[in-house]
Amino acid sequence: MIGIKILATGSCVPKKVVTNDDLAKLVDTSDEWITKRTGMKERRYVSGEEDQTYLAEKAAREAIERSGVAKEDINVVVVCTVSAEYYSPSAACLLQGRLGLKNDIIALDVGAGCSGFIFGLETIRALMIARNAKAGLIVGAEVLSRKMDMTDRSTCVLFGDGAAAAVLKLDDRPYTAVTGVDGDEEMIHIKVPTGFIHMDGQGTYKFAVATVPAVIEEVVKKAGLTYDDIDHFVLHQANLRIIESIAKKVDQPMDKFVVNIQKYGNTSAASVGLALDEAYKTGRIKEGDRILLCAFGAGRTWGAAII
């Protein structure tokens, strides 16, 4: 199977930091309540000139610069998001224009909720193979602060804004992925055109702790590996308790799980990419490491990939 290699990553988060204490001034909550239930301490909200396209562009430019890939070699652009500025044109088309990429490429959005980055990897890999692409650009970018009901204390404390990008090339290194969809519209949704995020917190927790370990087991078996063969687990940053529960179920130490939820909260399709980028920049993930990415989200969707 033709695989993919990540050449470089990039990220961008808004300047505005919103702490648990800040939220306690707006809604009936507290730092202790949020921290105990989620592991979150702060998150970022856009302000001023910042919007979804702004974050996506900044993250993409960093990834491209760090990769050493010429812009004219990027043949495919995939943006994973549920909070684009427009229904049409797509966020990917806007990003192509901002970056000044050539116009004989394919650029499209993937909307799979918090599973977006995994679905995006599968999508961009297939498109790169089909078009014999020299390089591809994937971006997860969300501005969920504008989709929250600030009177709903169980949900508004969870989400933040951010973007992460990766420049990819096709590679003969092993690559394995699994994805799935359950067609659910009640657990998590944002109704158009001006709806807020609605989430069944307990339902989401139960879904995650039941589904994610099974998906991890499936992708590891499909790859012909064991859990001990995985150097790093990079999971969707939805809730620290969920990540800890998954670590116990797969009997792996927490120090193999990348965690940055305390700084950014749940950034949906940007979540896996932000964690991956931070792990690269801090030197935690190194050349040749085997990484398992896994996420779950609205839809109900789930996916995992080993790269």
pLDDT in tens, 122-177: 999 999 999 999 999 999 999 999 999 988 888 999 999 999 999 999 999 889 99
Distance CA 109, CA 111 (A): 6
Residue 75 catalytic? no
Alpha-helical (H) ranges within the chain are: 20-24, 31-38, 52-67, 91-99, 116-131, 153-156, 201-222, 240-249, 261-264, 271-281
Distance CA 233, CA 245 (A): 13
Contact 127, 79 (CB under 8 A): no
Residue 114 catalytic? yes
* CA distances (Å), origin 56, targets 12, 59, 61: 7, 5, 9
Cα angle: 255, vertex 261, 267; to 5 degrees: 135
Please report the pLDDT score of residue 189 as a whole number: 86
Please report the pLDDT score of residue 241 as a whole number: 95
Question: Looking at the predicted structure, is the pLDDT value of residue 109 above 80?
Answer: yes
Distance CA 128, CA 131 (A): 5
Please report the pLDDT score of residue 54 as a whole number: 98
Out of 12, 189, 236, 239, which one is annotated catalytic?
Answer: 236
Question: Looking at the predicted structure, is the pLDDT value of residue 198 above 90?
Answer: no
Question: Looking at the predicted structure, is the pLDDT value of residue 73 above 90?
Answer: yes
Q: What is the pTM of this model?
A: 0.96
Q: What is the pLDDT of residues 246-301, one digit of tens each?
A: 999 999 999 999 999 999 999 999 999 999 999 999 999 998 899 999 999 998 99
Question: Looking at the predicted structure, is the pLDDT value of residue 191 above 90?
Answer: no
Question: Looking at the predicted structure, is the pLDDT value of residue 16 above 90?
Answer: yes
Assign 210 a pLDDT band (cuts: 50, 70, 90): very high
What's the mean pLDDT in 167-196? Answer: 89
Please report the pLDDT score of residue 192 as a whole number: 74
Comparing 21-25, 149-153, 220-224, the range with the smallest average pLDDT is 149-153
Q: What is the pLDDT of residues 150-161, one digit of tens each?
A: 888 889 999 999
Out of 20, 189, 266, 294, which one is annotated catalytic?
Answer: 266
What's the mean pLDDT in 13-25? Answer: 97
Please report the pLDDT score of residue 264 as a whole number: 98
Question: Looking at the predicted structure, is the pLDDT value of residue 1 above 80?
Answer: no
Question: Looking at the predicted structure, is the pLDDT value of residue 199 above 90?
Answer: no
- Look at 199 and 179; give whichever has higher pLDDT: 179
Assign 201 a pLDDT band (cuts: 50, 70, 90): confident
Question: Looking at the predicted structure, is the pLDDT value of residue 224 above 90?
Answer: yes
User: What domains does the chain contain, in order, with CATH numbers?
Assistant: 3-171 (3.40.47.10), 176-306 (3.40.47.10)
Residue 12 catalytic? no
Return the number of other C-beta atoms located less than 10 Å from residue 26's C-beta: 13
Out of 114, 189, 239, 260, which one is annotated catalytic?
Answer: 114
